[in-house]
Structure 1
Amino acid sequence: MIDHLPGKNRASAHFLLIVLAVAPLAVTACGTQTSHQPDGSSSLRSSVAAGAAPKPSGTADNLSKAAQKAAAQRAAAAPSGDPVSPTKTAVPGPGDYGFGKAAAATAGGEVVAYTPRLESGRVVVPLTIQNTGDKRMTYTVTVTVAGGQQTSPFSVTAKADGVWPGTTWPTKVDITASGLKEAAKGSKISLKVVKRDPFGNAQ
């Protein structure tokens, strides 16, 4: 079609045909790429694709609300009041009963009598009986008080049945009849102990 044109015009026509043939290819190639603008934003095609993507369904928020609701239900069902727990969980020893100063001891320190005290108008001698052996024992303790208004000693007996090894049995004897009116003055305490294995013989 352009062969009949003069040489210069023929060359110009060839160039124009090449440009027309290549231009659609260049436009198609550019259209398949995602170009980035100077401000970092994606091309229009990328923006449209991103807008078409599905949004999160909010499942995490639903789980969080369900967990909060379950926690509220547990709190409502919990019993009222503060939990109560012992401040000391060890087995109490003789000194843990607050009986004060020891007045007498016997049986290798297993039986201790404390200074007489007034309780509700009665004079009592507190006792602790601690089984330091390896089997259960029954203790019979005779507490003798000398002093006060009595001219002769006054005795009272206490018994602790089947005290477990490693435990302490707190008790007391009433000595009001001894005539002792003041808790510690003019009194002398002495002890006599008989230990017996409830399944064996006395010691």
Structure 2
Amino acid sequence: MLDKSLPSFKDIAIKTHRDRTLTLMQVYDWVLNGRPAKTEEHFRAFATRKKLFVVSAAFRYSIPKDSNYVDTPTVGQPWPMPVRYDTKAETVSVDAKNFQFKSIGVHCDILEAAYTRYKGLTFGGYRVVKPYPRVKGNLKTLDVFVKNSCSGKIYPSLNSSESYQLTVSSSHARLDADEVWGALRGLETFSQIVYRKESGEVWSY
């Protein structure tokens, strides 16, 4: 239970950002990395106890009150927003327990490692339930097609392509990219558009 004697998170975040005693990225680093605080010890203690909440709350509240910034929370939408993002007024059930990422183009260690990582990021901690009959489909696979070989590649270069196309329908999900770096971007987007409803079902826009 939160100690009500402590200053509110909103007040501390606004104060530290406004007074320049703490930058927004420092707040973010506190939450993610647990870095020792140089100011506002109460804030660090609160952040440590409420990590998952503070990640989003820090960005929502550490803006000066006179700012014109308008925050619009989203569910199941990517950030940052792709150049083109088209959606339909329907959701698709995702089989979290049996879901697989499958290479249908080139194969490489970078992709295989990414599949393991994004399986945890996308579905980690989700309990598996039967899909609602009114929800379309039940996705079990994301087909990943990378056109160019990624053999010997470790890091992207200035000339690397990070473009991708991700398509999700009620019966099929596919990710296309010229290079592995685009596929990694696409996997990140996929992990963001999959979300869990309060009742536990895993859905995707």
TM-score computed with the length of structure 2 as normaliser:
0.21
- Structure of greater Rg: 1
Say which structure is richer in helix. 2
Q: Which has the higher contact order (CA 8 A, sep 6+)?
A: 2
Say which structure is richer in strand. 1
TM-score computed with the length of structure 1 as normaliser:
0.21
